């Protein structure tokens, strides 16, 4: 079946963030605030502080003793670093974007994990109900074979096999309930809601071009490349001329035989530049290698995301075919149930046959829902990587 490719539409998905517990949402909110504050600090990190100092001294070696109070305010601010200040600001902006994407990535991962666990829980409920139907059929089979054995129609081995089959099905049911308990535990670490009352958002498929364009992992990797590029330029500028503006205000008061006050100001420009640094070349080369590595990682990540997309699309096609097969099976069992009912009414079939066919029909309905949930799990994998909220 040809898959209809459209924009990745999320119906009311923003409201679906409510699936996360208050603690999880508060953690994400706190992380966003931290990122903003740290980015604000980094953007003005190149601005030096204004320094205040005050010193009080007393000298008892003289008679009378000498005391002094010295007060000063000073600043030494680079105003030109051969482009270093500009690159520092741009690095801070790239870092802000990187942190923002990293937090969004984490939030989307939590949402995807919550909904995937939710779907697995719903699937487990369906599988448990289906397993209970299989056990009912197995019990019916035991009753049928017991009658046949007592009437001498079947050997006891057939009855033993039916009993063993029922026991295996019941053990599998216990394992399923244990798996469900584990899924509930995982779900409750992410959400405090009752999973039975949560609706699954309707997701559609995005074409591969838009998937790559909006891919949050690739955007995050690209933001990292920008960071490292500006960091490399900042590193280079550290070895180029720097022009600084400095200013000082000093005020002193000395008491000896008499009190002397003195205050003065000084200001000017200074130019500085490292003449020799043994690690200069190594530091620059290191930053260049980091940029190169990030670009290579971007290429590799883009390739892996394309392969992931293709793999998910194939699985979606697979589950769509299984859903169609389940629908055909449902029609077949519905027809067989009608025929069996007619034969039962005419005395040609037993009530066991009717009950077995009813349980088999219900089982196909569970299969269809299970396959749809499996398909939705694959769609959430696309959502986790696709950038739009």
Q: Are 313 and 3 in contact (CB under 8 A)?
A: yes
For the chain, the domains span 15-46+86-239+285-385, 50-80+241-273
- Cα 207 from Cα 5, distance rounded (Å): 5
- In this prediction, residue 12 carries a pLDDT of 40
- pLDDT beneath 70: ranges in the chain: 1-16, 61-63, 256-259, 387-389
Quickly name the fold that domain 15-46+86-239+285-385 has. Answer: Outer membrane efflux proteins (OEP) (1.20.1600)
Task: Report how far apart, in Å, the C-alpha atoms of 262 and of each of 12, 71, 189, 243, 344 are.
Answer: 72, 10, 68, 30, 118
- Cα 74 from Cα 248, distance rounded (Å): 4
On the question of a cis peptide bond just before residue 64, with omega within 30 degrees of 0, the verdict is yes
| Nearest C-alpha neighbor of 3 from the set 149, 208, 246, 199 | 208
- In this prediction, residue 261 carries a pLDDT of 78
- Cα 112 from Cα 382, distance rounded (Å): 9
Phi, psi of 295 (to 5 degrees): -70, -40
* Burial environment of residue 79 by CB neighbours within 10 A (0 to 12, 13 to 18, 19 or more): exposed
Q: Are 326 and 368 in contact (CB under 8 A)?
A: yes
Phi, psi of 8 (to 5 degrees): -80, 90
> What is the DSSP track for 276-332?
--TTHHHHHHHHHHHHHHHHHHHHHHHHHHHHHHHHHHHHHHHHHHHHHHHHHHHHH
- Cβ atoms within 10 Å, residue 203: 20
pLDDT digits (tens, 9 = 90+) for 180-238: 999 999 999 999 999 998 888 888 888 899 999 999 999 999 999 999 999 999 999 98
Tell me the angle at which helices 351-385 and 280-345 cross, rounded to the nearest 10 degrees. 160
């Amino acid at each position: 079946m040809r898959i209809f490719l459209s924009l990745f539409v999320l119906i009311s998905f923003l409201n679906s963030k409510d699936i996360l517990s208050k603690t999880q949402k508060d953690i994400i909110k706190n992380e966003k605030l931290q990122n903003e504050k740290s980015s604000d600090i980094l953007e003005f990190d190149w601005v030096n502080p204004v320094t205040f100092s005050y010193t009080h001294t007393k000298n008892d070696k003289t008679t009378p003793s000498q005391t002094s109070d010295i007060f000063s305010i000073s600043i030494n601010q680079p105003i030109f670093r051969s482009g270093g200040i500009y690159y520092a600001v741009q690095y801070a902006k790239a870092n802000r974007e990187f942190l923002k994407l990293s937090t969004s990535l984490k939030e989307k991962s939590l949402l995807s994990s919550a909904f995937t666990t939710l779907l697995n829980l719903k699937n487990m409920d369906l599988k448990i109900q289906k397993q209970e139907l299989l056990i009912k059929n197995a019990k019916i089979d035991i009753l049928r074979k017991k009658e046949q054995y007592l009437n001498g129609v079947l050997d006891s081995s057939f009855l033993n096999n039916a009993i063993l089959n029922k026991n295996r099905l019941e053990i599998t049911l216990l394992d399923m309930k244990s798996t469900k308990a584990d899924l509930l535990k995982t779900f409750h670490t992410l959400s405090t809601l009752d999973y039975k009352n949560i609706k699954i958002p309707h997701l559609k498929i995005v074409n591969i071009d838009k998937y790559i364009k909006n891919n949050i992992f690739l955007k995050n990797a690209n933001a990292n490349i920008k960071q490292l590029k500006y960091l490399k330029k900042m590193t280079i500028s550290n070895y180029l001329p720097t022009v600084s503006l400095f200013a000082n205000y000093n005020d002193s008061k000395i008491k000896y035989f008499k009190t002397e006050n003195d205050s003065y100001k000084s200001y000017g420009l200074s130019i500085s530049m490292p003449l020799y640094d043994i690690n200069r070349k190594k530091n620059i080369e290191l930053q260049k290698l980091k940029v190169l590595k990030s670009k290579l990682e971007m290429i590799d990540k883009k390739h892996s995301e394309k392969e992931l997309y293709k793999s998910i699309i194939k699985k979606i096609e697979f589950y769509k075919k299984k859903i169609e097969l389940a629908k055909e099976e449902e029609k077949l069992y519905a027809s067989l149930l009608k025929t069996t009912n007619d034969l039962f009414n005419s005395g040609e079939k037993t009530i066991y046959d009717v009950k077995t066919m009813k349980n088999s029909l219900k089982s196909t309905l569970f299969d269809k829902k299970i396959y749809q949930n499996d398909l939705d799990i694959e769609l959430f994998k696309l959502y986790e990587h696709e950038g739009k909220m």
